Amino acid sequence: MKNSKTIAIIFTLMIFLWNCTERIEVEVDSSFTRLVVEGYVTTDTAAHWVRLSTTSDYFYNQPAPAVRGATLSIDDGDEIHMLTESDTLPGVYFTSPGYYGIPGKTYTLNIRNIDIDGDGEIEEYSASSVLNPVNPIDSITLRYFNAFHYTGYEIQVYAWDSPRKDWYAFKVHKNGKLITDTLYELIVQNDDFFNGNYTYGIASQFLSNDKPDEVVKIGDTITFEINGIPEEYYYYIIEAQSQIFPQTPLFSGPPANIRTNMNNDAIGFFVAYALNRSSTIATADVVDGGIPQ
Amino acid sequence: MKDYAAKADLNYFITPEHTLKFGLISTLHDFEPGSAKGLGDQSLFTEFSLPSNYALENGIYISAESSLGERWNLRYGLRFSSFHNVGPATVYNFNQDYQAVDSIVYESGNFFNSFGGLEPRLAVSFMLNDWSSLKASYSRTRQYIHLAQNSTAGTPLDVWFPSSPNVNPQISDQVALGYFWNLWDDRLEASVEAYYKKLNNAIDFRDHANLLLNRQMEGELRIGNGNSYGLEFLIRKNTGHLSGWISYTYSRTERVVPEINNGDPYAAPYDRPHDLAIVLNYEISKRIWVSGNWVYSTGLPVTFPTGRFEYMGNIAPVYSNRNAYRMPDYHRLDVSVSLAGKDKPGRKWGWDLNLSAYNAYARKNAWTINFVQDDNDPNGPHAEMTYLFSISPALTFNFHF
């Protein structure tokens, strides 16, 4: 058959179901139940809170089970402060209303008197967080934006960044109520690109008119809050956000558990941070770009 | 990735019992990691492309084969391989936390980094009798190009990494022992072979690796060791109306990387314990034959969410250990029937017709699995798989002249 030629005529019916998806059953073992901690100590004088819950099965669509009846204390190295369980909010424990954190101290949360794994033996958990200081804010301004049919406000911040290494979390309150209240809305930032510099009105948080609680009216008091968070917590938030943001499956890297500062297989974070705030009142020339609706 | 290679081989017969071979090969590798740009002139995004990487790989070997008496046969050799990173390149230096602290720019044509080493190999075979033999072998290989696989159920992404100042070559040592026999005047061959392989400098992606057009991708790698072992069975029939082969391999491949999975061993991204292939051809007549093959393998390892928790009002997953779960098993049947035109004496042309079906029983082999939360579904997140091909029939007409 040397020097022969072949002509091939091919009729194919490629049932090329590209990206054909369907629901399947995936059997995952129920992972062992773990304690989940969300707790804060700040420089505000207030009743600070710690919320205890447990993990649940991945395909379980109920609110996380609350952990009740635990004994919680916060140790700042000098004294131990006991927390009291809330009567109304399940799994939430409060400090006394006069409690406040002091920059430079290390706060340790101790949790006792609970049996998460149900083996009849009491377990103990703890986590520590250094309370980092944070610089004050000189002022903020509110600027209306309208881009790609997306309207809202950016909050421009005027402040000095300290010469030390800083990790920040940025939050916004409207008339005293926190409106950046989910992981999606929290912004964390390190000072790699502006260490020791003045911020000159850098846009640091955003409000969207698409979210009813973020719509600004004339006379509203908008308060920007800056938190000086520990480095570990900065990465904790980055990792947590990467897990909950709408999936971009390609390029997302091997999935892995979010870090924690809890011990004994508990997850979540107990964080201490200093905070400062600055407010502005929304005026007619700012709200909706000064254009009456 | 593109390769340009040049090679030369020489055989030298000293006596009928002793043969010597020399050779050398040189390959230029061109790695193109990827680029992205916005669409249109008005795009906000400027083009972002990862620079190409160049490397030269050389190998020179000498090997000898000697028969000792009637029964023993020895093959032994030594190979020297070298690998050179060639500019232009920007090499990042990473600190202990794998953060890039500075970078060095090398200009075009600069051989800025080299690796090299010896690769010995030895194989001994012993004829037990006319129809069976035992073989044992050892070999060391240096692999300068690494494949990192993102073993996410939702992202079967492979990235090639050349060895570099940040990534050492992978060195593997393998030993194997096999029993081979031929039955019925070589009409049937069968073998069993066991192997063990030790890997040094195996790479894998760290937890939460950022793989999207990352210029410092080497910082996303973690380096450890691995080992793999397996048992392979093969039976093959070469002649007769019915021909084909059946092969089955049981194998395991494990990794140990200090910064991954708490340093505990885990299944390598390509670990497939069971791998079976049946390939059969049956000649019904001189002009008509049918063939079929069926493959089956264990699903690849993946990391699945096994639990969930709430933080700041959002739900976040709790994952299993690295690669603790598996994709569904893969299996597929392909069949075909062929009819050839009559072969008439003197005729200079001919034809044949082939009807085939790929994935004949339309197995939906999962390519990816994603976990999706449907806002309208009160029953929580569910798993969704994507598959690529269902049954694909084809009719082929070949005309040859």
**Among A97, A130, A163, residue at a domain's last position:** A130
Helix (H, G, I), strand (E, B) or coil at B206: coil
CB contact under 8 A, B394 and A19: no
Would B1 be classed as within a structural domain? Answer: yes
Residue A10 lies in a domain: no
Is residue A102 located within the same domain as residue A174? no
Strands B132-143 and B111-129: antiparallel
Same domain for A162 and A284? yes
Do residue A146 and residue A263 come from a single domain? yes
Answer yes or no: is B174 within a domain.
yes
Say whether both A173 and A230 belong to one domain: yes
Mean pLDDT (chain B, rounded): 87
Is residue A27 included in any domain, yes or no? no
Q: Are A249 and B308 a contacting pair at CB < 8 A?
A: no
B122-135 average pLDDT score? 95
Residue A73's DSSP bridge partners are: A82, A110
In a domain, B173, yes or no: yes
d(CA A204, CA A182): 16
| Rounded distance between C-alpha atoms, residue B347 and residue B341, angstroms | 11
pLDDT digits (tens, 9 = 90+) for B194-249: 999 999 999 998 888 877 667 788 888 999 999 999 999 999 998 889 999 999 99
Model pLDDT for residues A24-57, shown as the tens digit of each residue: 888 777 778 999 999 999 999 999 999 999 998 8
Domain count, chain A: 2
CA distance A183 to A6: 64
Look up the domain containing B63 and give its range: 1-191
pLDDT digits (tens, 9 = 90+) for A155-183: 999 999 999 999 999 999 999 999 998 88
A41/A95 same-domain check: yes
Asked if residue B108 has pLDDT above 70, the reply is: yes
Q: How many domains does chain B have?
A: 1
H-run or E-run covering A237: helix A231-244
Whether residues B370 and A247 touch (CB distance < 8 A) is answered with yes
Is A180 within 8 Å of A171 (Cβ atoms)?
Answer: yes
Q: Is residue B160 situated within a structural domain?
A: yes
- Domain hosting residue A216, numbered range: 137-288
Asked if residue A141 and residue A125 are part of one domain, the reply reads no
B208 and A256: CB-CB below 8 Å?
yes
- For residues A71 and A143, membership in a common domain is answered with no
Q: What is the predicted pLDDT for the residue at A62?
A: 80
Q: Is the pLDDT of residue A2 over 80?
A: no
- B320 to chain A: which residues are within 8 Å by CB? 28, 31
Q: What's the farthest any 2 CA atoms get from each other in chain A?
A: 96
Give the C-alpha distances (Å, rounded to integers) separating A255 from A133, B154, B220, B260, B336.
33, 10, 13, 12, 41
Show residues of chain A in contact with B393, CB under 8 Å: 12-13
Sign (positive or negative) of CA dihedral A15, A20, A24, A28: positive
Mutation target for A interface from B309, B343, B386, B397: give the one with most A CBs within 10 A: B309
In this complex, the residue of A239, A254, A257 whose CB is nearest that of residue B205 is A254
For B211-329, list the strands marked E by DSSP: 221-237, 242-256, 266-267, 274-283, 288-297, 301-302, 305-311, 314-319, 325-326
Residue A211 pLDDT > 70 = yes
Q: Quote the CA–CA distance of A202 and A193 in Å, as a whole number.
A: 12
pLDDT of residue B37 exceeding 60: no
Q: Per this entry, what is the length of chain A? A: 293
Q: Complex ipTM, two decimals?
A: 0.85
User: Is residue A251 domain-shared with residue A198, that is, in the same domain?
Assistant: yes
Question: Same structural domain for residues A95 and A142?
Answer: no
Per-residue pLDDT, A236: 94
Tell me, what's the pLDDT at B38? 46
Q: Give the model confidence (pLDDT) of B68-97 as tens digits.
A: 888 999 999 999 999 999 988 888 888 888
A269 in the same domain as A169: yes
Choose from A252, A270, A271 for mutation: most chain B CBs within 10 A.
A252
